[in-house]
Structure 1
Amino acid sequence: MSLIFFMWFSAINSFESDRMVPAPLFVDPNYRGSCDPEIVWNEHDQLWYIYYTARRPMLENTWLQTPLGVAVSKDMVNWEFKGYCKFDGLGGEKDAASTFWAPAIISANDTLHMFVTWKTDTVPTKGAWGGQGWIVHYKTPVNNPVNGWQKVNVLHADNLNTIDATVYKNKDQFHVWFKGKELTAKKNELYHLATTDFNTWQKLGFSKSDVFNAEATGSNFEEAPYIFEWKGKYWLITDPHDGFFVYSSNDAENWKFQGTILKEGGNRNLDNSMARHCSVAIKDDRAFIFYHVEPWRRYDLEKKKGPGKQRIFDQPLKNRESVLQMAELEIIDGKLTCDRDKTIIIK
């Protein structure tokens, strides 16, 4: 009897182990610089896709010439590297001819639409982050999600310097938000555009209420906005380089600041530092957050004052490596929370 129980118990443990989300979730196989994940369900392939900025920390200490990497999974547990995106038939290599950052992607009518930060820079003549950025719209059929991307247009005029778009659908409209400022301005704003057909865009001004508002958050810096709907509310998460700021809204326009999550490092493998630049997937009414971590980065050296203070590109290349992680979101007392150490079993 005890042998039968042991075999049954072992079988259950083995089954759960096969469905347990690993840490890290995924690491770029070439330069180990996977960051800025965007997770999308592809109905045609019946697969989850993560598109990510493929930094090159094993090669140089800049953020330039980065392609977009792609990983796929049937179950959110086991991920396979699929290569790097081609744009207008070019690219697909681990080193890009220009700079691509932080894709925002949505599926509509058998087409994937991407809104990506693009920079012309190939060498660090304007610093490690390069010069001006543009939000560029690309599209591809859902049956060609890696190599089929074709340019549609740029979402704004050349007087704006922009990064980090997010895209979501509300009723019959698709909305794109991105961080930007006019070249002569000092303050960044969160720009808001909307469309029904991905051709004609309506300018809806800047975000309202607490978001990008230092009086509400105590911070003068935020980037990487991500908007999603879950449990009857809209949620907006931004990256202030100090964990994630979380906002909630009933209408996806007026945002209320609720606090910070994923600031402190966790205990899982290579999840020991603050979470950076996220996206979220809803599966079976559960919400999973995907983010990158720089496990070896010495944030303490960057925050020092006076002699001995370092910038990230002063640190060893190893400190620049980044991995993708996944955790589960919960709502407690009306607020979005996350225990990054919690074991995740995908059913």
Structure 2
Amino acid sequence: MSAPIYRDPIADGAADPTVIRKQGTNEWWMFYTNRQPAAPGPKFTWIHGSPIGVAVSTDDGASWHYRGTVAGLDDPRDAGQRNTHWAPEVIWAEGQYHMWLSYIPGVPDNWPGIPRTITHFTSPDLENWTRVGPLTLNGPRVIDACVLKCPDGLWRMWYKDEDAGSSTWSAVSTDLYTWKQEGLVLSGSPDAPPHEGPNVFVLGGWHWLIVDEWRGQGVYRSQDAVNWERQGIIGGEPGTDPMDIRFMRHADVVVAGDHGAVYYFTHPEWDELNAKEGPPDVAARKTAVHHGRVTVVDDVLVFERNIAAGIPLLKP
């Protein structure tokens, strides 16, 4: 049964999870967008004003426990007001942790025209973060960073450009601090429908790129992390648990031996396939985090959704 493995105990709006092991410990940390389903205000106020939540597991992902929210991530120019933090990407590299955060000043009530930037932070311990600063990419409305070192020796960042048809772009770096724009990766065309939340991982001899198409995850594979071939969609079919019948949204994959542990979120009480607008009430806005498993069979990424809660998927 694919029951939720975690719900935020304060706001009940955990979304966009990313999972990383704390070096030298048996702790796995989940960072997530902490949406505010019960927030007052018009239109999409509730999806803004979100801090970054943290949950920790000490049993390889079998159970998760709320730790609080991350402080110190605001732009100093926006001090004294609530701001919006989305979709953190957290990795360990070059002797420290790095976070790339989708950042929006204030608490907007709508989407159009609102600037969004990807901002870099570093930390020695996953708890105390130092702001490096925003990246200059190809537009003023970019979100959802994913970072991985690639076969060509470069660090590569994939991200969503909201002003370019909700498409995925890339930038490259030799040191994780200075980034050079590389170009369009997935176009937002009929062959690569509009999407968000790119996530890249290596499994079964391939680089895999998954993106949230708001109907499941579009899947692409590559030998070099540059040229991508579309496979299809995973996570569009409902799970067996009543709380996991909606499509898989914005996912992270942690490779553990010969499989990948998939962390994704859903709106358990919102029938989004038949919706003409956003969630109509607080219940529909609430979200839950689930886990699943991916393996590679005959060079195809295979997703197993119906994994019971309590299974330690992060154990190789």
What TM-score, normalized to structure 1? 0.80
**Per the alignment, in what secondary structure is the counterpart of residue 318 of structure 1?**
helix
C-alpha distance in 1 between matches for 2:272 and 2:162: 27
Encode CA deviations 1:170-199: one digit per residue, 9 max, x unaligned: 2543221111156xxx53442212222222
How far is 1:215 from its partner? 3.9
Q: Who is 2:146 aligned against?
A: 166
Shift of 1:159: 4.5
Corresponding residue of 1:216: 191
Higher relative contact order (CA 8 A, sep 6+): 2
Tell me what 1:12 maps to.
none
Counterpart of 2:277 (choices 311, 320, 330) is 311
Give 1:334's aligned residue.
299
Give the residue type in structure 2 aligned to 1:244. Answer: Q
Distance 2:15 2:242 in 1: 16
Look up the match of 1:240: 213
Q: How many Å separate the matches in 1 of 2:5 and 2:65?
A: 11
- CA-based RMSD of the aligned residues comes to 2.4
CA distance in 2, matches of 1:266, 1:106: 30
Could you say if the C-alpha distance between residues 270 and 335 of structure 1 is closer, same or farther in structure 2, counting changes exceeding 3 Å? same
User: CA 1:247–1:64 in 2, change beyond 3 Å: closer, same or farther?
Assistant: same
C-alpha separation between the residues in 1 aligned to 2:303 and 2:285?
Answer: 25
1:115 matched to 2:90? The reply is: no
Amino acid at match of 2:191: A
Contact 2:150 2:224 in 1 (8 A): no
Aligned position for 2:227: 254
CA distance in 2, matches of 1:181, 1:80: 33
- The corresponding residue for 1:179 is 160
Could you tell me which of 76, 80, 85 is aligned with 1:100? 85
1:162–1:179 Cα contact (<8 Å) kept: yes
Q: How many angstroms apart in 2 are the aligned matches of 1:157 and 1:243?
A: 27
Name the CA shift for 1:129/1:266 in 2 (closer, same or farther; >3 Å). Answer: farther
Deviations 1:288-334 (A, max 9, x none): 110001000121442xxxxxxx4114x11100100000001122332
Aligned-residue sequence identity (percent) comes to 27
Give the 3-state SS of the residue equivalent to 2:243 in structure 1: coil
Matching residue's letter, 1:101: W
Matches within 5 A, 1:11-22: none
Q: Which runs of 5+ in 1 are unaligned?
A: 1-20, 303-309
CA displacement at 1:87 relative to structure 2 = 1.9
1:163 & 1:35 partners in 2: Cα distance? 14
Which of 2, 10, 16 is the aligned partner of 1:30?
10
Amino acid at match of 2:290: Q
Report the secondary structure of 1:326's partner residue.
Answer: strand
Residue 66 of structure 1 corresponds to which residue in structure 2? Answer: 50
User: Does the 8 A contact of 1:289 with 1:326 survive in 2?
Assistant: yes
Paired residue type of 2:16: D
In the alignment, what sits opposite 2:19? 39
Which amino acid is 1:121 matched to? G
- Aligned residue identity for 2:61: M
Structure 2 residue runs without a partner (length 5+): none
Give the distance between the partners of 2:5 and 2:112, measured in 1 at CA: 26
Q: Distance in 2 between matches of 1:89 and 1:77?
A: 32
Determine whether 1:132 maps to 2:105: no
What are the superposed Cα offsets for residues 92-123 of structure 1, whole Å, 9 maximum, x if unpaired? xxxx8200000111111331111111001324
CA displacement at 1:203 relative to structure 2: 2.4
Deviation, 1:249, is 0.3
Once structures 1 and 2 are overlaid, which stretch shifts more, 321-330 or 128-137?
128-137
Aligned to 1:202: 180
Q: Cα distance, 1:269 vs. partner?
A: 5.0
**Alpha-carbon deviation of 1:165?**
1.0
Aligned residues: 302
Deviation at 1:139, TM superposition (A): 1.1
Q: How far off is 1:39 after superposition?
A: 0.9
Residue 36 (structure 2) aligned to one of 44, 56, 62? 56
Alpha carbons of 1:180 and 1:158: their partners in 2 closer, same or farther (altered >3 Å)? closer
Please state how far the C-alpha of 1:342 moved relative to its aligned partner.
Answer: 4.1
Distance of aligned partners of 1:159 and 1:22 in 2 relative to their CA distance in 1, 3 Å threshold:
closer
Richer in helix (by share): 1
